Amino acid sequence: MNHDLKRRWIITNATNLTRYIVSKCTKENEPINNLQLQTILYCIQIEFVRRGKVAFYDNMEAWKFGPVLPNVYYTYCGFGANPITMNYPNEKFPSPEDRKIIDPIVENKRKLLPWELETLTHDTNGAWAQTYRSGEGEYSIIPRELMM
């Protein structure tokens, strides 16, 4: 692992970031499902890694249908494919500077259909595909270095 990424500043943990995203989408009457949430988290992490930071230290794994943060997946899997309509009051994360990066990603990706999300994350040159390798790497951690 690139130790420079470990030493750089971090927004929050994935749980707090997830609560921010879910609350934002619920408040804006555009709730998202678990697949959308996972894709949004993946895209946010990629954007931060490309800037030499990490959005969260939790590891994403390469699952069959795309990148997944298991703890987040299991928290919301009870919703199935239905929208997650929860609101977490008083979430203080992320900072206003981080929201400038996060909010456009959330607002863009939540509009995509499931097959569009799959196309986005399954790019053959992308970190998920390089890790998943047609199933050989299923449930393997997606290295942040591949996200660059």
Between CA 102 and CA 148, with CA 137 as vertex, the angle to 5 degrees is 35
What value does the mean pLDDT take over residues 91-97?
79
Give the span between the Cα atoms of 122 and 147, in whole angstroms.
Answer: 13
For residue 98 the two structure tokens come to: 């981080």
Give the span between the Cα atoms of 120 and 128, in whole angstroms.
Answer: 10
Residue 120 has pLDDT above 50, yes or no: yes
Identify the band that residue 91 occupies on the pLDDT scale cut at 50, 70 and 90. low
What value does the mean pLDDT take over residues 63-68?
95
Residue 4 has pLDDT above 80, yes or no: no
Percent of the chain past pLDDT 90, that is, above it, reads 76
Identify the band that residue 12 occupies on the pLDDT scale cut at 50, 70 and 90. low
Give SS3 for 123. Answer: coil
Residue 18 has pLDDT above 60, yes or no: yes
Residue-level pLDDT at 1: 44
Tokens 């609560």 sit at which residue? Answer: 19
